[in-house]
Amino acid sequence: MDQEIESIESNKTWELVDLPQGMKKIGVKWVYKTKYNEHGKIEKHKVRLVAKGYTQQHGIDFNEVFAPGSRWDTIRTILAVAASQGWNVYQLDVKSAFLHGELIENVYVDQPPGYNKEMGKIYKLKKALY
């Protein structure tokens, strides 16, 4: 959990504020996952801090839902061109990729369980949270 908080804070994902009058806050929770290797042995335990977005109501708390991604036919086309030209193809994984998306809307979340910095304060998200 410390690594997750460190990642969120080093990315400047949020700032500690008072909840503005008339604004709602969203709860957060820890989600745990165990990763296994190809032999079925535990490789590592992962934890993510996620916003309880399921408590929001469409048309009241938000109007759109958007998740960036690539269409499979686009990926296949790029791979076909690369193969026909003999190009090398590389891939990469961006750690905490979703945390890099900047927010335009004002979104407020509770302080994570076990990580209360200042009583009565909440976090204003500056970037996306899982």
Alpha-helical (H) ranges within the chain are 2-10, 72-85
Q: What is the pLDDT of residues 94-109, one digit of tens each?
A: 766 666 677 778 899 9
Amino acid 99: pLDDT: 63
Domain ranges for the chain, please list them. 1-57+94-130
List CB contacts of 59: < 8 A, sequence separation 6 or more: none
Q: What is the pLDDT of residues 68-104, one digit of tens each?
A: 678 899 999 999 999 999 999 998 877 666 666 777 7
Comparing CA positions, the residue from 89, 126, 96, 94 lying closest to residue 109 is: 126
pTM for the structure as a whole: 0.68
